[in-house]
Structure 1
Amino acid sequence: MDYLTATKNKKYLMYISQNYSYAILRPLQQEILAQGGEVKWFLEGNEVTSSFLKNNESHLLTIEEVIRWSPDVSFVPGNVIPPFIPGIKVGLFHGFNSGKRNRKGFEDHFNIRGCFDLYCTQGPNTTSRFEQLSKQYKHFAVKETGWPTLDPLFNPDTKSIYTQPDDKRKTLLICSTFSRNLSLAPKLYQTIKTFSEQGKWRILMQFHPKMPNELVTKYQALENENLTFIETDNVLPLLKAADVMLCDTSSILLMFILQRKPVVTFCNQDPGKHLLDVTEPEKVEAAIELALSHPAQLMDDIESFCQQLHPYQDGLSSQRVLAACNELVLTNPKLKPKPLNLIRNLKMRKKLNYWRW
């Protein structure tokens, strides 16, 4: 059976709590609508902005409206979703596994919270682990699909608004996570300030939305003809515009490297041969110059890494996700009941002010 065509007349909910989730789910929304399905959005909490919705995007305002609408499938690029929403719940991830560990020392990417019926994984290096966890817990299925977010990245017709054809300099993209222990922002300010004054490269900067305001303000003050600080809910045009990236342990570096472009990292938690990692500020500039020269061994290591991380370059991951979800809806495999998660579920009910049972 062609499970993609089964999309017609089904209902799909985009359940989000962060502004970056818009860009994660919009390629999937586009495919759903093209296949005759219906899409609505629900925005949870105060960290997601309703003004980012487009005029043609439908928005459910309350959890009561969501339940009355009764979606067949809910897509979540986050960690949790209330169990009392009808339909199957699908984990799509808000990024790649960048090696970050939680307070207990475990990789947070593989933390099973008992909220999802299906995980749509991005590539072999995460699929195998989730398949092991599926056999262990037995209450969710796993399908390797690729990440819908990246479909536009692999579309040659997608243009970047951040390119400047008249500027012949190489473009350096600097990104940073918000965690104080992992972020390059507090440690490389003077280095980046020097880069902005040198004018050797055209520099684009973008920080995680949770970056402390004082650091954002400090870097915004560096803006000049060589450096542009950008706040956006869609990083893909930034990725396409740059020749090389300077980053830390943020998972955005993995999105960038899938273009087969080099990444220089500062004190990365999980450095590998595919990265040029440095731990001293005075070595950053030389590492960037080396990256821009595209050394053969580095580029081979990047290719091998990408084949494990996300081998799909066809821009059709949204189709694979949609087919996998429809298959689960129609075949209704016998999964074990998800755990009750009483404390977490009570917290979600309180947050959403929903007390019907």
Structure 2
Amino acid sequence: MKRYLLFVSLSYSYSILRPIQTEIRKRGDDVAWFIEDGCTVRLRDGEKRLLSIKDVMEYNPLAIFAPGNYIYDFFPGIKVEVFHGLFFKRTDYGDHYRIRGLFDLYCVTSSMFMPEFKRLEEKYGFFRVVETGWSKFDAYVNTGANTDKEGITILYAPTFTESLSSTVDLYNQIERLLQEKDWKWVFSFHPKMKTETIEQYRALADRYDNALYSEEDDKLGLFTEADLMVSDTSSVIYEFLWFDKPVVTYKNTFPENHLLDIQNANELESAIEKAISRPADLLENISKKMDEVHSFRDGKSSARILDAVDDFVENYKGKIKKKPLNLFRKLKLRRKAGYFPFGPRYKVSE
């Protein structure tokens, strides 16, 4: 029986990793979770948690899956990056293509990212890149819109990146629309959003009956309930577009024709009205863009990820270049985890 570990560093990890867990169990193998200190624990009945580094060492997983930007290098097993979003935020691509020397295998979400990742694979030589699709979308297959609800529901899901966020500029317009329109608003913010911003919008929701601040990390239910999304430059946009629903964006970094992008907060109401009308050309543009961003619609991305691990074990493990020493970053991770040389050292049990 193979053993696998799911590595959680932020609360958004659960919905990305659970489809992988489902596929592992389907294959008759074993899976456990390791949740970093300080991260919200949202495990369900029947999900196994390893509480310490010693537990992980003794569990000795074949592979570890992480949606975040890092993983503990001292954990045993193949280190697999499965990504926490579908699209980069900035024109310089931010950290989307940053190679930190921690991962053995990158399970890339889309063919649009493969050329650059393949170039990096050839350049560095110590990791493999495979296009698998995004595991999170496995749970979205066969999930449709809620047709029983009444009225219009707007999901507001801005980025936490301050330089790109709409939370300040759109606040007054959102409050005005709460007063003047019977639209229902749901505020759903990233866990890295500034605390004061969260509290500001939570207070706004408390003042109006047609507003709700959602604490849900798994946004699938919110996506099916909402008729449209308002955002800025957040990768969550492309999760919502999966459902062929319009998105109004504020000063988006990539304002293409699949989005209703505005440059002025005063345009928000008219853009929402247009989104509600669901123009045919917009829906066609959304469909074309999502074919580019994530062409897989078969719900088998997690299966491809596990197959990629098996291929790595058989054909590449121990046969490609070793990862760089990366001493400073490894020391930082050890300090963060309280692991040797800053804590007790554990060895895998024989």
Amino acid in structure 2 at the alignment position of 1:49: T
Q: What 5-or-longer segments of structure 2 have no aligned partner?
A: none
Q: For the Cα contact (< 8 Å) 1:100–1:108, is it kept in 2?
A: no
SS of the aligned residue for 1:325 comes to helix
Q: Hey, what's the Cα distance between the residues in 1 that align with 2:243 and 2:123? A: 35
* Match runs of 1:165-204 below 5 Å: 165-167=148-150, 169-204=151-186
SS of the aligned residue for 1:75 comes to strand
Kindly provide the CA deviation profile for residues 102-128 of structure 1, in whole angstroms up to 9, marking residues without a partner as x: xxx553111111111111111111122
Amino acid in structure 1 at the alignment position of 2:127: F
Aligned residues: 339
Deviation at 1:58?
1.1
Q: Hey, what's the Cα distance between the residues in 2 that align with 1:354 and 1:146? A: 34
Q: For the Cα contact (< 8 Å) 2:154–2:226, is it kept in 1?
A: yes
Deviation at 1:272?
1.6
Q: Hey, what's the Cα distance between the residues in 1 that align with 2:330 and 2:191? A: 26
Confirm whether residue 206 of structure 1 aligns to residue 188 of structure 2: yes
Q: Runs (4+) of structure 1 moved beyond 3 Å? A: none
Q: Hey, what's the Cα distance between the residues in 1 that align with 2:303 and 2:51? A: 28
Partner of 1:345: 330
Q: For the Cα contact (< 8 Å) 1:73–1:325, is it kept in 2?
A: yes
Deviation at 1:281?
0.6
| TM-score, normalised with respect to structure 1 | 0.90
| Counterpart selection for 1:49 from 40, 62, 72 | 40
Q: Hey, what's the Cα distance between the residues in 2 that align with 1:106 and 1:275? A: 19
| Counterpart selection for 1:329 from 296, 307, 313 | 313
Kindly provide the CA deviation profile for residues 74-131 of structure 1, in whole angstroms up to 9, marking residues without a partner as x: 0000011122211111000111223336xxx553111111111111111111122211
Q: CA separation of 1:140/1:166 partners in 2, compared to 1, >3 Å: closer, same or farther? A: closer
* Match runs of 1:72-91 below 5 Å: 72-91=62-81
* Match runs of 1:130-141 below 5 Å: 130-141=117-128
SS of the aligned residue for 1:124 comes to coil
Partner of 1:26: 18
Q: For the Cα contact (< 8 Å) 1:173–1:245, is it kept in 2?
A: yes
Deviation at 1:261?
1.4
| TM-score, normalised with respect to structure 2 | 0.92
Q: For the Cα contact (< 8 Å) 2:89–2:234, is it kept in 1?
A: no
Q: Hey, what's the Cα distance between the residues in 1 that align with 2:327 and 2:256? A: 40
Kindly provide the CA deviation profile for residues 125-165 of structure 1, in whole angstroms up to 9, marking residues without a partner as x: 11222112111111111111111111111223x7x8xx582
Partner of 1:5: none
Q: Hey, what's the Cα distance between the residues in 1 that align with 2:108 and 2:253? A: 22
Q: Hey, what's the Cα distance between the residues in 2 that align with 1:190 and 1:125? A: 37
Q: Hey, what's the Cα distance between the residues in 2 that align with 1:266 and 1:106? A: 19
Q: What 5-or-longer segments of structure 1 have no aligned partner?
A: 1-8
Q: For the Cα contact (< 8 Å) 1:21–1:77, is it kept in 2?
A: yes
Deviation at 1:222?
2.5
SS of the aligned residue for 1:55 comes to coil
Q: CA separation of 1:194/1:173 partners in 2, compared to 1, >3 Å: closer, same or farther? A: same
Q: CA separation of 1:166/1:93 partners in 2, compared to 1, >3 Å: closer, same or farther? A: closer
Q: Hey, what's the Cα distance between the residues in 2 that align with 1:76 and 1:240? A: 26
Confirm whether residue 295 of structure 1 aligns to residue 279 of structure 2: yes
Deviation at 1:166?
4.5
Amino acid in structure 2 at the alignment position of 1:318: S
* Match runs of 1:273-312 below 5 Å: 273-312=257-296
SS of the aligned residue for 1:192 comes to helix
Amino acid in structure 1 at the alignment position of 2:40: T
Q: Hey, what's the Cα distance between the residues in 1 that align with 2:132 and 2:203? A: 42
| Counterpart selection for 1:16 from 8, 11, 23 | 8
SS of the aligned residue for 2:188 comes to strand
Partner of 1:320: 304
Q: For the Cα contact (< 8 Å) 1:196–1:222, is it kept in 2?
A: no
Q: CA separation of 1:200/1:98 partners in 2, compared to 1, >3 Å: closer, same or farther? A: farther
Q: CA separation of 1:294/1:35 partners in 2, compared to 1, >3 Å: closer, same or farther? A: same
Confirm whether residue 64 of structure 1 aligns to residue 48 of structure 2: no
Amino acid in structure 2 at the alignment position of 1:184: S
Amino acid in structure 2 at the alignment position of 1:347: K
| Counterpart selection for 1:270 from 251, 254, 260 | 254
Amino acid in structure 1 at the alignment position of 2:333: M
Q: Hey, what's the Cα distance between the residues in 1 that align with 2:203 and 2:246? A: 27
Amino acid in structure 1 at the alignment position of 2:13: S
Q: Hey, what's the Cα distance between the residues in 1 that align with 2:148 and 2:121? A: 48
Partner of 1:119: 106
Amino acid in structure 1 at the alignment position of 2:230: L
Kindly provide the CA deviation profile for residues 21-65 of structure 1, in whole angstroms up to 9, marking residues without a partner as x: 11110111011111111111111231x122x11231111111122
Deviation at 1:287?
1.1
